[in-house]
Amino acid sequence: MCDTIIDIQSLNFSYNGQPVLIDVNLSVQSGDFIVMIGPNGGGKTTLIKLMLGLLEADSGTIRIFGKPPKGVSHRIGYVPQDIHINKNFPISVLDVVLMGRLRPGEGWSRPSREDRMAALKALKLVEMDKFCDHRIGELSGGQKQRVFVARALVTDPNLLFLDEPTASIDTKGQGEFYSLLKDLNKTITIIIVSHDLMVISGYVKSVVCVNQRFHYHGHAELTGEMVEMMYHCTAEDTCPVELIAHGVPHRVLHEHDTE
């Protein structure tokens, strides 16, 4: 697969006049598995929301499958960073996944047989179908995230965004979760925001560094020094990862940016 499914050109975005993303250009090919990294406040989540059509750019263009994001929302799955469900709320795993079948502006309606079949299929993909009648609050952090992924998959998307999906999962669960994503990547293009760099490097194909400006690396070879340097990418024209790749020595920085 070599089709371009995301094409971003000269993208700029600001909040209240404060630049968040500056001159972002990106081309994503079908079948890629990208991890997006960078300091807090660097613009990672903002970039995802722009690609989802939840925000409008100040300037530049975004095309997903050749169209503006809002025109292809049915082909995109999204697992946001914060999903709060009261553990005492009596909603089943199946009902959570069925929420992914809701259409904007239509409100809640009785799910059809087709909806239920799609939800069960999505749960089976993430190996959670046997928990379909359990309450969501009874599950572990890793199990909940699998359910939220199923909710994002219930419309059979071609592109999946995940924002810090393993924040509430223990180390063992993280490895299992990334293995799941690697398996899903056989048929779905994936972009994930993550700080678990040394864990996820064994699963992804490409690395994106975002800190206002944008740097794409079409490989996932990470060393400890590269990880530190990536988190100190600034708004300069050259990304430290590129310099490391060309053998330029760097002073190792030890305090991560917390903007």
Percent of the chain with pLDDT over 70: 77
* Domain assignment of residue 77, yes or no: yes
32, 206 Cβ separation under 8 angstroms: yes
Residue 253, pLDDT > 50, answer: no
* Domain assignment of residue 206, yes or no: yes
Taking only the tens place, the pLDDT of each residue in 17-34 is: 899 999 999 999 999 999
More confident residue, 107 or 143: 143
* Domain assignment of residue 256, yes or no: no
Mean pLDDT of 220-233: 56
* Domain assignment of residue 144, yes or no: yes
Q: What is the CA radius of gyration of the chain?
A: 19
Mean pLDDT of 86-95: 81
CATH code of residue 237: 3.40.50.300
What domain range includes position 213? 4-245
Mean pLDDT of 69-74: 92
* Domain assignment of residue 258, yes or no: no
Mean pLDDT of 59-76: 95
More confident residue, 37 or 225: 37
* Domain assignment of residue 170, yes or no: yes
**Domain total of the chain:** 1
Look at the pTM and tell me if it is higher than 0.75: yes
User: What was the pLDDT predicted at 104?
Assistant: 59
Q: Could you please report the per-residue DSSP string of 188-230?
A: SEEEEE-S-HHHHTTT-SEEEEEESEEEEES-----HHHHHHH
* Domain assignment of residue 254, yes or no: no
3-class DSSP state of 64 = strand
